[in-house]
Structure 1
Amino acid sequence: MTDSTSPAAPAGWFPAGVEGQERYWDGTAWTDQVRPVGTVVSESPTTVETSTASAPGKKPRNVLGIVALAVAAVGFIFACIPGALIVGWLLLPVGFILGIVALLQKGKPKWQGVAAIIVSVVGTIIGVIVFIAVVAGAVNNAVGDTVTDEVGSSAVGEGTSASDAPAAEEKPAVAEAQELVLGETAFGVDADNGMGWYAVQLTNPNTDYVFGNAGIDVEAYDASGVLIDTDTSYGTILSGTSWFVGRFFDIGSAQIDRIEVRGPTADAATYSSAAETGSFTLGEITTGSEYDWMTVNGTVTSNFSEDQDMVRIDLIARDGSGEIVGVDFTFTDRVPAGGTAAWNVNLWKVPLDSKIEAYPHL
């Protein structure tokens, strides 16, 4: 190779006579070091470093945050659907927890976790609102049902005359409703807890009238005529004889001398044809004992055309002489239309050989 550089040339890289290569001149002689043309070297001529730009790296992903956001979003959707609220309430807490965990991960994006937390909280609030709306609607429908709906009959509205209705719809004249008749009553005080109790017998003499959602107020008075306490029972008084029982909670040290009963008057009765009004039939009542209380079991059968919810069973206990010595009541969850449901209750502090009577009503 022919030197193409003057001996006085300073040290450096110069064409080496081979296309695409350079050789290092140390200022006095050629060295054995070669390199490709254009390569950047460090300050030391003995080390050749090639400078290459590193490819830009991918942005980190927060997989857990993405999962949390997806779970929260699905829960939010279900929370808005009345029939699928439970699914939303299961998913939203999961999305909330995953969002918090995703938010705590180092070196990962945070926005997915934050979004999951926000969606979970908002979804929960909406779910509560939807639940309240559903419950409120159900209660409103239940309260709005009239007694005639319950017994499967209808009454003629005000302002309607027989001449206004088609001939096929005309009904025979119906006798006016009669007042309820108060029968036997009883009361007492439980020595152990100081609470009073009462039993009231009411007879509805009307064959084709019922008293719907009737309020029956029972007042306890002492010997001086002072009103001690009042208890109110609500129910539908069907045709025939019924018993209503309850308790006085604020007797204290007072002594009950007598009770008075206030109930609905005849003008509160609702027409309901006897042929269409439903009724209940009590099955056999069995009793037993456990510790110092009496266990009572029985069945009730309905011939109503619709299911009846929360049917109340009022019980009275009579001793061998026929005197009422205790009362209690219970509810059935549902009595199917034309079906039978079981019920049971425990009677405290009554003789275990007492005779039990039960009276169902709406």
Structure 2
Amino acid sequence: MTDSITPSAPAGWFPAGVEGQERYWDGAVWTDQVRPVGAAAAQADAVPELPSGPAPEKKPRNILGIVALAVSIVGFIFACIPGSLIVGWILLPIGFILGIIALFQKDKPKWQGLTAIIVSIVGTIVGVIVFLAVAATAFDNAFGDAITEEVGTSDVVEEGTAEEAPAVEEESAVAGAQDLVLGETAFGIDTESGFGWYAVQLTNPNADYVFLGAGIDVEAYDANGVLIDTGTTYTTIFSGTSWFVGDFIDVGTAHIDHIEVRGPTAEAATSAPAGETGSFTLGEVTTGSEYDRMTVNGTVTSNFSEDQEIVRIDVIARDGGGKIVGVDYTYTDRVPAGGTAAWNIGFWQVPLDSKVEAYPHL
């Protein structure tokens, strides 16, 4: 009730005589201000909404740093692969330089550039180690060769053969092992591609020794004794006689007068008892023709106790007089343990009536 307020009451909100309503007493008289009962409590409980601050600014990407890191990583990978070292050595310095530039990009992240620099430095160190390892292997192969046989000059520009070399009787320091024996050889030029080719016959006279991962280097020389190119075949040489073929890629317009063959010495032989060593047996080889190309099909059977992956088949073609007129090679994906796998290949530059021989290798 508004008339129940004593004149000495302080200013404030008091019941106004109307249920659910309050009127403001200014300390002397009643004012016209009214409000619902409890409005003050609701107002006190209300939490004022504060203005939101500005959204945090996103730091821009360092695109150059990302590129530098990607280049360095790819260079590192190539530096670990012996056959791709040169690619790694090209990419790693590029990644290093881009990483340095990325560090000086204003208001941009620095970690990509710094990481690129570290990866490029480590990759370069790894590349040097891989190069030294490859060089050491090449040096060892070069100075450990025992087979060196010169082939006589051929009257035909594209092709040539040599007489069989005598067997080496002297035994090696490896218990009972003997050096490989070089037999018939041949070489020529593929007139369509311009590449040279070669075929060499090698005999491993050791019944209980093999040459694992042997490198067979065949060097092509002109009439003046200038080395034109070298072809290399890596293989395992089992006991007995087999043929190995390959290509000369950098002959150009030069004329091959003769070839020389170099291979591992008897000291590189590995003991492998004949009764415990597996072998391959070649099935029937059939030939056909497709347009002006000879097609060759055959099978190879393994008596190894384990599957053999990527078995190479070296193929040579002879004319009616027994002269080697072309070579090629192919691979099988897998020869199952104690099983048989098929293979096929096509000859472009040989007479369609040539006689074909094939030799499987690991």
Normalising by structure 2, report the TM-score. 0.56
CA shift in 2, pair 1:206/1:32, >3 Å: closer
CA shift in 2, pair 1:22/1:291, >3 Å: same
**Structure 2 CA distance for aligned equivalents of residues 217 and 31 of structure 1:** 115
Q: Do structure 1's residue 232 and structure 2's residue 232 form an aligned pair?
A: yes
Q: Is the 8 A contact 2:313 2:361 kept in 1?
A: yes
Matched letter for residue 53 of structure 1: A
Q: Provide the residue aligned with 2:101 in structure 1.
A: none
Q: Is the 8 A contact 1:24 1:33 kept in 2?
A: yes
* CA apart distance, 1:50: 6.1
Matched letter for residue 361 of structure 2: H
Q: Do structure 1's residue 298 and structure 2's residue 302 form an aligned pair?
A: no
* CA apart distance, 1:292: 3.2
CA shift in 2, pair 1:55/1:343, >3 Å: farther
CA shift in 2, pair 1:296/1:3, >3 Å: same
Consecutive unaligned residues in structure 1, runs of 5 or more? 41-48, 58-117, 137-142, 144-173
Deviation by residue 1:330-361 (Cα, 9 ceiling, x = unmatched): 22222222111222222221122222110012
* CA apart distance, 1:196: 0.6
Q: Is the 8 A contact 1:25 1:31 kept in 2?
A: no
CA shift in 2, pair 1:189/1:36, >3 Å: same
Q: Do structure 1's residue 348 and structure 2's residue 341 form an aligned pair?
A: no
Matched letter for residue 35 of structure 1: P
Q: Do structure 1's residue 249 and structure 2's residue 245 form an aligned pair?
A: no
Indicate the SS of the match to 2:182: strand
Deviation by residue 1:73-128 (Cα, 9 ceiling, x = unmatched): xxxxxxxxxxxxxxxxxxxxxxxxxxxxxxxxxxxxxxxxxxxxx9xx9xxx9xxx
**Structure 2 CA distance for aligned equivalents of residues 259 and 312 of structure 1:** 23
Matched letter for residue 193 of structure 1: S
Q: Do structure 1's residue 198 and structure 2's residue 198 form an aligned pair?
A: yes
CA shift in 2, pair 1:38/1:349, >3 Å: closer
CA shift in 2, pair 1:12/1:328, >3 Å: same
Deviation by residue 1:255-280 (Cα, 9 ceiling, x = unmatched): 11111212223333223222112110
Deviation by residue 1:222-266 (Cα, 9 ceiling, x = unmatched): 122222211121211111110000111111111111112122233
**Structure 1 CA distance for aligned equivalents of residues 230 and 38 of structure 2:** 110
**Structure 1 CA distance for aligned equivalents of residues 307 and 319 of structure 2:** 35
- The correspondence of residues 111-260 of structure 1 with structure 2, limited to 5 A, is 176-260=176-260
**Structure 2 CA distance for aligned equivalents of residues 34 and 215 of structure 1:** 105
* CA apart distance, 1:33: 6.3
Q: Is the 8 A contact 2:23 2:30 kept in 1?
A: no
CA shift in 2, pair 1:332/1:56, >3 Å: farther
Q: Is the 8 A contact 1:221 1:227 kept in 2?
A: yes
- The correspondence of residues 5-24 of structure 1 with structure 2, limited to 5 A, is 14-17=14-17, 21-23=21-23
Matched letter for residue 205 of structure 1: P
**Structure 2 CA distance for aligned equivalents of residues 333 and 271 of structure 1:** 27
Q: Is the 8 A contact 1:316 1:328 kept in 2?
A: yes
* CA apart distance, 1:291: 3.8
Give me the identity figure in percent: 71
Q: Provide the residue aligned with 2:327 in structure 1.
A: 327
Deviates more, 1:299-308 or 1:25-34: 25-34
Q: Provide the residue aligned with 1:316 in structure 2.
A: 316
* CA apart distance, 1:54: 4.9
CA shift in 2, pair 1:39/1:339, >3 Å: same
Indicate the SS of the match to 1:267: helix
**Structure 2 CA distance for aligned equivalents of residues 302 and 329 of structure 1:** 18
**Structure 1 CA distance for aligned equivalents of residues 5 and 267 of structure 2:** 131
The structure having more radius of gyration, on CA atoms, is 1
Give RMSD over aligned pairs.
4.1
CA shift in 2, pair 1:38/1:327, >3 Å: closer
CA shift in 2, pair 1:352/1:55, >3 Å: farther
CA shift in 2, pair 1:337/1:29, >3 Å: closer
CA shift in 2, pair 1:12/1:266, >3 Å: closer
**Structure 1 CA distance for aligned equivalents of residues 275 and 185 of structure 2:** 31
